[in-house]
A = this chain, B = another copy of it.
Amino acid sequence: MAQKTAPDSTRRSERSRRAIYDAALELVGEVGYGKMTIEAIAARAGVGKQTIYRWWPSKGAVLLDAFLDLAEQANAQLSEKAGLAEPAQDIPDTGDLEADLKYVLRATVDEMTDPKFDAPARALAAEGVVNEQLGADFVEKLLEPQLQHYVRRLRAGQERGEVAPHVDVRIALELWTGPLAQRWMQRTGPLSHAYADRLVEYALYGITPR
């Protein structure tokens, strides 16, 4: 038995859930993750503390759900603008791997620079480094689906001879996602379109003379 008496999710208040998400996202931007408290979230959301403790085990879990919701909304808006039905953002396949990768990596840079995403994403990434459970959820629900887009695009390229057949594509994609994530998290250098372009070039063609 994990929980004493599981709450009845059919009676859950949608209104409260949304208010909690909004409050959490606001607070993490205003005071930072460390000083964000569950009491403050409850107060700002106009909600009892127990309502938060009933549905989430920690403030990290609250923020993760809030951020997933935010990402989903943003994604839906993008699909709508593009006139698409509802598929997630896939990587273009124009037959020019270098151009396709640069296109999506530049978009990723823009997203990482957007202050609306930056504060909560940083908080979750940081908490995931230290909290293994939350880190696994963060990776599974947010990061890995993104990485799978690269896997598919690289495999398609491999069948077409754009990528060498012996290459492990799951490792190859880290050649650009790793450096980008590192610069974002550690602030070891500027995050620019030019930087994204260099990463793609070096990863595709190597740094030794050809």
Residues of A within 8 A of B (CB): 32-34, 97, 122-123, 125-132, 135-136, 138-139, 143-144, 147, 154, 161-164, 167-168, 170-172, 174-175, 177-183, 185-189, 195, 198-199, 202-210
Q: How far is the CA of A175 from the CA of B195 in the complex (A)?
A: 12
Complex contact B206–A161 (CB within 8 A): no
What are 9 residue pairs bridging A and B, where the CB atoms are less than 8 Å apart in the complex?
A34-B131, A126-B130, A143-B188, A154-B207, A167-B202, A170-B189, A175-B199, A181-B181, A181-B182
Complex contact B163–A207 (CB within 8 A): yes
Complex contact B129–A208 (CB within 8 A): no
Q: How far is the CA of A174 from the CA of B189 in the complex (A)?
A: 11
Complex contact A164–B204 (CB within 8 A): no
Question: In whole Å, how far is A27's beta carbon from the nearest beta carbon of chain B?
Answer: 14
Residues of B within 8 A of A168 (CB): 198
Residues of B within 8 A of A178 (CB): 174-175, 178-183
Known contacts A123-B130, A125-B129; A175 and B202 CB within 8 A of each other: yes
Complex contact A202–B203 (CB within 8 A): yes
Complex contact A164–B32 (CB within 8 A): no
Cβ-neighbour of A207 out of B122, B175, B177 (below 8 A)? B175
Cβ-neighbour of A136 out of B139, B170, B187, B195 (below 8 A)? B187
Known contacts A164-B207, A203-B175; A185 and B129 CB within 8 A of each other: yes
Complex contact A202–B126 (CB within 8 A): no
Question: In whole Å, how far is A174's beta carbon from the nearest beta carbon of chain B?
Answer: 4
Q: How far is the CA of A174 from the CA of B207 in the complex (A)?
A: 12
Complex contact A32–B139 (CB within 8 A): no
Complex contact B207–A203 (CB within 8 A): yes
Question: In whole Å, how far is A131's beta carbon from the nearest beta carbon of chain B?
Answer: 8
Residues of B within 8 A of A126 (CB): 126-127, 129-130
